[in-house]
Structure 1
């Protein structure tokens, strides 16, 4: 058999295994299939290459440039995913597992690409939050911004998801504008290496944006600075060792950990065996125990059920697990493949034996189970193992020992408070799920358990057809957890991007803030629009360009006509005495939406032109009522421009309505799509 040499990608070149290389065995056969590692890897040179070459190249790009880069990378990976599938079988993963790891990783990258275009500016500065008014007259303001760290992100990933584990960290890092050095777990690094080769050979990435360490990191962490970051997935013991590195502590290097997690699933007291929720619960637990052979950081390790149905849960779950076909993951009939390695098999069996000191195994005998298409003695196969703990209040192992495989323990609860207490005994998890149709139970668990769990997943008959499952970290939602789970966060949309950026408080005049952020700030210098800005194409408009309109007097006839035409006959518009009894009004006043309509009439250019559509308005506020006889005028300013595609872009206009005394009566932001 040919043994694959798994290379590292350092300073723009592939480096073959060398001194210190380790052999990697197939999870299916136990045969050596690859070799990885090189103790002579120039880790300091890699850091310098990322900082000096990759970082500047990425920072020259805008967020939208980087988002387009991510999309192109994801689509390129998708074109080559069959090769990744074929190689990944050697890790013990089934085709269904590939959908989570490979397709899931590509999908995550596409989500970040989309969010980067929709939620971030087409610039190099990310504005975080609203303007803070720090002075009486508005000449001194504050604004928080985020800019990329000027270092490198070191990603240390676990063995169970060699593609998703890399891409879910890589996507927000590159979107932030920070280069990455990826270090996958050695036991499955040959799959990560292929994914990196596919991306590198696409020529989509700038030089230095991505490097790969196949094998050990050497002393790389000893050379990190305050501009660098470490994102780690693995055991809590390893996380503690890494984050205790003197350089990481001394230089305040950002360290994010996603570690051990005794995740649980609670069956609500309303979910009796005759309800859809009971069947859903059995399906969810079974799937989470067997997907990736239970090698998921989000897998269900503790099954918490009402005492009255515990026996029914054990029977139903055992019957379902008995249908799980174990074997060579390449076989279409296989539903659960192997653990990643013989070492992982030994660890799982040792942990299961420890659980057995305080819980009874009720399903799954590791000495007697069938494996189709492979030798169970040579491959890293184990059966699903279900335990029952009859004394969860005094037990310890079931709440602090994670057998990282298809192993889970059932335990009973007396009431919802007891269920919450058991869930929290895990001292921090990535996810807890609750299967219930009772909204009050959901509220109790959210309030009682939320502080101990990074995510709480509720499901029932209403959401079961569209829900994504207990064990699915979504790029839109935060992935991480307190305590034992590592105390970090990943994913969560643009939140993840900001982990690799520095938030800085900017203080200064409106002109200074406008210049720094690229977004017009009220009070900054206005640019005379000259011709009507609605006659100008997207690329011709300048931020700060302003139109001042003529005024229009609001009459009592206008107010009454608008009321009768729209049906909005609220008393403040129609009954002078009633309006005067209201502390907000001097008497009858104009409708707020009448003012918006009149404002549009004052600033809209009616002829066909580059303005393609009005897509909405944000931040509408009414500051002062307008009475009959008052005159309103409008200031329309280009606040922000965001390119959407090659045909049009979004223009955000700052709109202010003032009366005849120059008092502000309304303010909002108008969104239009303008042609190029």
Structure 2
């Protein structure tokens, strides 16, 4: 397929004038689309269009109830493309068609799109500053009031990830637009096609020209402009730590506010009364989009005396996983995104073994389908938490089991990480499990269950990022506070 139009700028679809690249199916290496991406000049035009659209005030000055109503219609227009979005999640992202993760690829983000305007309207537009009584009379003896107003930043650069391209784009686009910003959306070039459906929904909804712009490129020139251009007021990015650091560097000279949702090395602590669940959760990590999820609990901590039994149970479960193409309804473990991802899995497993780990099962690339990018579901027995497999994000179907002496030891190891995106605790004794969760240092902690809601925020600490997406905090991230004092 030849993608004739690789951008949406100022209310119209445009042909690319930049680098030509190929979008491939990670299941078999076949071509999904040939794309002529946008040039740097065209990305500059998109930024200029967003700047004009914001500065005219046509969008940001709308009553917030009216803007929310438009975004509800936008969410409904996007939902009409659900079947195509599912097809693209299989073709370009390699997500197995029957996987439970398909809900995170399509159904859950579409539900969030409809709910985000409601979260926005639940927040006050203005809040009073609680001045003490003696300050409520100004120097002239006039009654004084002081209020906090929440205003849009302006032009937002939204840069999405490849693993769940719709979801990571939507977390940026819908909150940014509903709060009155204008947006330039750049998908990852490995999974760019679903981004154009954001543009089609804008056409159907009748968003004013320039309010939403979509830019697809094969290189990085445009992405660098979106982080550094002074006409951009804010950057929201989901992706790797390395790229997040570069974006922060590029944004620093103009002091752009950032929302960065980066990598993770999340811990799962199993209390002694729930250790029988550990093996199944090891399987869940591997079959969850081939381990390509930043919040997945890839470090599994169990009591030392239970470790051998957990490893044996997990080995049996992982060896029974069916590997295959994402389009096959029987597939449980699909491909990782590309050859570089396979090589990263190989490298980290090799480094782990060199540092004393044992490969219990897996540990190699799988070559059952020519041209595909597969890695076996891999279980590592780690001697301690200092092992490279416990400290470095793999982003593949590799899970590590580590023994702990007591719960204090487990908590200390869980917190011994450069990352802090998510964490998991499993315990039948809910009070004890909650106490462990409260001691973990991470942006989100899930005790016996997790929540993926438009009303609950997510974000990281340490190298897992800054700022929050989803929930009230995810709305406020796209607003700046202004204090208004008057009498």
> Normalising by the residue count of structure 2, what TM-score does the alignment of the two structures yield?
0.91
Are the equivalent residues in 2 in contact too, given 1:64–1:120 (CA < 8 A)?
no
State the partner residue of 1:156. 159
State whether structure 2 residue 57 is matched by structure 1 residue 53. no
Counting only pairs closer than 5 Å after superposition, residues 60-459 of structure 1 correspond to structure 2 as: 60-90=61-91, 91-95=93-97, 96=99, 97-117=101-121, 119-120=122-123, 126-128=125-127, 131-133=130-132, 135=134, 139-149=143-153, 151-193=154-196, 195-215=197-217, 216=220, 217=222, 219-224=225-230, 228-245=233-250, 248-272=251-275, 278-279=276-277, 281-358=278-355, 359-367=357-365, 371=368, 375=369, 377-392=370-385, 395-449=386-440, 452-459=441-448
Cα–Cα, structure 1 residues 426 and 506, in superposed 2: closer, same or farther, change >3 Å? same
- Deviation digits for residues 184-236 of structure 1 (CA, Å, limit 9, x no counterpart): 1100101222x2243133134222121111113153433225x7100111111
SS of the residue 2:243 aligns to = helix
Higher relative contact order (CA 8 A, sep 6+): 2
State the partner residue of 2:38. 38
Are the equivalent residues in 2 in contact too, given 1:289–1:299 (CA < 8 A)?
no
In the alignment, the residues of structure 2 paired with residue 209 and residue 355 of structure 1 have an alpha-carbon distance, to the nearest angstrom, of 48
In the alignment, the residues of structure 2 paired with residue 448 and residue 486 of structure 1 have an alpha-carbon distance, to the nearest angstrom, of 20
SS of the residue 1:146 aligns to = strand
Counting only pairs closer than 5 Å after superposition, residues 522-561 of structure 1 correspond to structure 2 as: none
State the partner residue of 1:477. 456
In the alignment, the residues of structure 1 paired with residue 335 and residue 434 of structure 2 have an alpha-carbon distance, to the nearest angstrom, of 39
In the alignment, the residues of structure 2 paired with residue 137 and residue 504 of structure 1 have an alpha-carbon distance, to the nearest angstrom, of 19
Cα–Cα, structure 1 residues 410 and 223, in superposed 2: closer, same or farther, change >3 Å? same
Are the equivalent residues in 1 in contact too, given 2:199–2:214 (CA < 8 A)?
no
In the alignment, the residues of structure 2 paired with residue 179 and residue 351 of structure 1 have an alpha-carbon distance, to the nearest angstrom, of 41
- Deviation digits for residues 600-640 of structure 1 (CA, Å, limit 9, x no counterpart): xxxxxxxxxxxxxxxxxxxxxxxxxxxxxxxxxxxxxxxxx
SS of the residue 1:27 aligns to = coil
Give the deviation of 1:348 after TM superposition: 2.5
> What is the Cα-based RMSD across aligned positions, in Å?
2.2
State the partner residue of 1:489. 468
Are the equivalent residues in 1 in contact too, given 2:17–2:38 (CA < 8 A)?
yes
Are the equivalent residues in 1 in contact too, given 2:321–2:333 (CA < 8 A)?
yes
In the alignment, the residues of structure 2 paired with residue 54 and residue 203 of structure 1 have an alpha-carbon distance, to the nearest angstrom, of 18
State the partner residue of 1:621. none
In the alignment, the residues of structure 2 paired with residue 288 and residue 67 of structure 1 have an alpha-carbon distance, to the nearest angstrom, of 37
In the alignment, the residues of structure 1 paired with residue 293 and residue 434 of structure 2 have an alpha-carbon distance, to the nearest angstrom, of 27
Are the equivalent residues in 2 in contact too, given 1:179–1:210 (CA < 8 A)?
yes
Give the deviation of 1:141 after TM superposition: 2.8
Are the equivalent residues in 2 in contact too, given 1:454–1:478 (CA < 8 A)?
no
Cα–Cα, structure 1 residues 153 and 365, in superposed 2: closer, same or farther, change >3 Å? same
- Deviation digits for residues 541-585 of structure 1 (CA, Å, limit 9, x no counterpart): xxxxxxxxxxxxxxxxxxxxxxxxxxxxxxxxxxxxxxxxxxxxx
- Gaps (5+ residues) in structure 1? 273-277, 460-466, 510-676
In the alignment, the residues of structure 2 paired with residue 64 and residue 286 of structure 1 have an alpha-carbon distance, to the nearest angstrom, of 45
Give the deviation of 1:414 after TM superposition: 0.7
Are the equivalent residues in 2 in contact too, given 1:6–1:190 (CA < 8 A)?
no
Give the deviation of 1:52 after TM superposition: 1.6
SS of the residue 2:191 aligns to = helix
Give the deviation of 1:419 after TM superposition: 0.5
In the alignment, the residues of structure 1 paired with residue 135 and residue 129 of structure 2 have an alpha-carbon distance, to the nearest angstrom, of 17
Cα–Cα, structure 1 residues 57 and 288, in superposed 2: closer, same or farther, change >3 Å? farther
In the alignment, the residues of structure 1 paired with residue 402 and residue 292 of structure 2 have an alpha-carbon distance, to the nearest angstrom, of 21
- Gaps (5+ residues) in structure 2? 138-142
Are the equivalent residues in 2 in contact too, given 1:157–1:234 (CA < 8 A)?
yes
Are the equivalent residues in 2 in contact too, given 1:130–1:143 (CA < 8 A)?
yes
Give the deviation of 1:48 after TM superposition: 2.2
Are the equivalent residues in 2 in contact too, given 1:179–1:209 (CA < 8 A)?
yes
Give the deviation of 1:378 after TM superposition: 0.9
Are the equivalent residues in 2 in contact too, given 1:133–1:142 (CA < 8 A)?
no
Give the deviation of 1:341 after TM superposition: 1.9
Are the equivalent residues in 1 in contact too, given 2:336–2:375 (CA < 8 A)?
yes
Are the equivalent residues in 2 in contact too, given 1:64–1:116 (CA < 8 A)?
no
Are the equivalent residues in 2 in contact too, given 1:133–1:141 (CA < 8 A)?
no
Over 6 Å off, 4+ runs: none
In the alignment, the residues of structure 2 paired with residue 320 and residue 83 of structure 1 have an alpha-carbon distance, to the nearest angstrom, of 33
State the partner residue of 1:503. 481
Give the deviation of 1:129 after TM superposition: 5.7
- Deviation digits for residues 433-473 of structure 1 (CA, Å, limit 9, x no counterpart): 00012244334323422xx30001001xxxxxxx4x4xx64
Cα–Cα, structure 1 residues 192 and 283, in superposed 2: closer, same or farther, change >3 Å? farther
